[in-house]
Amino acid sequence: MAVMDYISTRGSAPTLDFRAATLAGLADDGGLYVPARWPQMTADEIRALAGLDYVETAVRVMAPFVAGVLSEDELRGLCKAAYGRFGHDAVTPLVQLDHRHWLLELFHGPTLAFKDVALQLLGQLFETFLRGGETELTIVGATSGDTGSAAIEAVAGRDHIRIFMLHPEGRVSDVQRRQMTTVLAPNVHNIAIDGSFDDAQAMVKRLFGDAEARSRLTLSAVNSINWARLMAQVVYYFYAAVRLGAPERPVAFSVPTGNFGDVFAGYVAAQMGLPIARLVVATNVNDILHRALTSGDYSAGTVTPTATPSMDIQVSSNFERLLFDLSGRDGAAIAGMMAEFDRSRAMTIPADMRAGAQALFSSARIDADGMTLALRWAQERGGQIIDPHSAVGLAAARALEIDGDVPVVTLATAHPAKFRDAVERATGVRPALPPRLGNLFEREERYSKLPGDYDAVKAHILAEAARG
């Protein structure tokens, strides 16, 4: 299998192999790494996935992306270690709601969110790539709720890695916060900032471009800006689709979307040959992606806090990866577009690029009432208690016209117990935390509170890192 190279969406960073791209996270020209080409799976190869378990499916789907760095046997060992801790043997089971709507449950990992599917593997990759070396990796990330706990769970206590995770104070659920702040491993540093997720994410991106920080730290990312995270998420699109009849039958997916990472993984699956009828981008009232896809208006407004905090985002980092493909992989053009966006917080998606996106993507903006109605429909008609983010996805799936013979899969991105108050308000049911989370509300918390100021955050990270 030919070695897979990775290139930046902005065209001027060095080409890297899978190991180097994983450890780097963000490219040094500010762009995001993507494979130099999309690997192809034939209909026969997709058909052959039908009888396989999740680990074996993962090996077949991901092998081309790690070619030249990991053998299939090495990849298989990492996948077994990553997915052996999940609470369901299927890892990402499908649940039927009615004759055409399905849920893909992505919350059976240790922190009850879809991020575990990728981050449990990413933790294994980091440890493998750093083993035996002298490099001390400093992971810096921002979270709107779930990435933080999943990343911390994946790397807590691991050698040669320390992690700093920023979250917007008061804008994540109490379960989400405690899943981060009660991990007391010495290599884990939680920071609550006075600001929004977008503010936190902007600080992380700025740190990666900061020459002083890069000279003192070996920085890496666990946010979905890291290609390895998206790669792991591609797998469950194949796993679900073959169980619903692919490749003979196309399947549609509805994805609750904030940062565009999870739905971009669906795009990758489609580029690889999986017959995806539609990818539905489901947003809440923070609807920059819906506006971009429908009218070309990619402009950041003020973030409105909602009952779906993981989607309270106005700047979707991974959208750049899609724009790169839609531009014919013109790195210079993307660098220009993103510079304009950074300057004015707005840009217009050209009509030809928008038309290219609309060939596969649909979108819907779901408000609080729409989310509540979907929660109730899932409970009353589908027999399922779901979380608010999944409800946004389900509302979008049911709102859009998709051919009647196409099954529609909504990605269920979090366990409902992570958002107990919102679920209870809509359904009258207060979902219980699974036993494996144990005494979460009795554990000691530890985190630093900092102003929404880049210099203060940078100084804190450098000082803590220097302490070792």
Sheet strands (E) in 122-206:
137-142, 161-168, 188-193
Transcribe 235-273 into DSSP letters: HHHHHHHHHTTTTTS-EEEEEE-SSSHHHHHHHHHHHTT
Residue pair 299/291 in contact (Cβ under 8 Å)? The answer is: yes
User: Any idea what DSSP says for residue 433?
Assistant: P
Q: Shortest CA distance to 142 belongs to which of 67, 206, 53?
A: 206
Q: Pairing state of beta strands 276-283 and 251-256?
A: parallel
How many residues are present in the chain? Answer: 468
- Cα Rg of the chain (Å, integer): 20
- Rounded to 5 degrees, what angle do the CA atoms 166, 138, 148 make? 30
Residue pair 139/151 in contact (Cβ under 8 Å)? The answer is: yes
Residue pair 414/307 in contact (Cβ under 8 Å)? The answer is: no
Active site residue 115: yes
Say which of 80, 115, 449, 458 is annotated catalytic.
Answer: 115
Structure-block tokens of residue 150:
């999943």
β-bridge partners, 414: 113
Residue 36, C-beta contacts closer than 8 angstroms, at least 6 positions apart: 4, 5, 6, 7, 15
- Rounded to 5 degrees, what angle do the CA atoms 244, 247, 251 make? 50
β-bridge partners, 280: 254, 362
Active site residues: 115
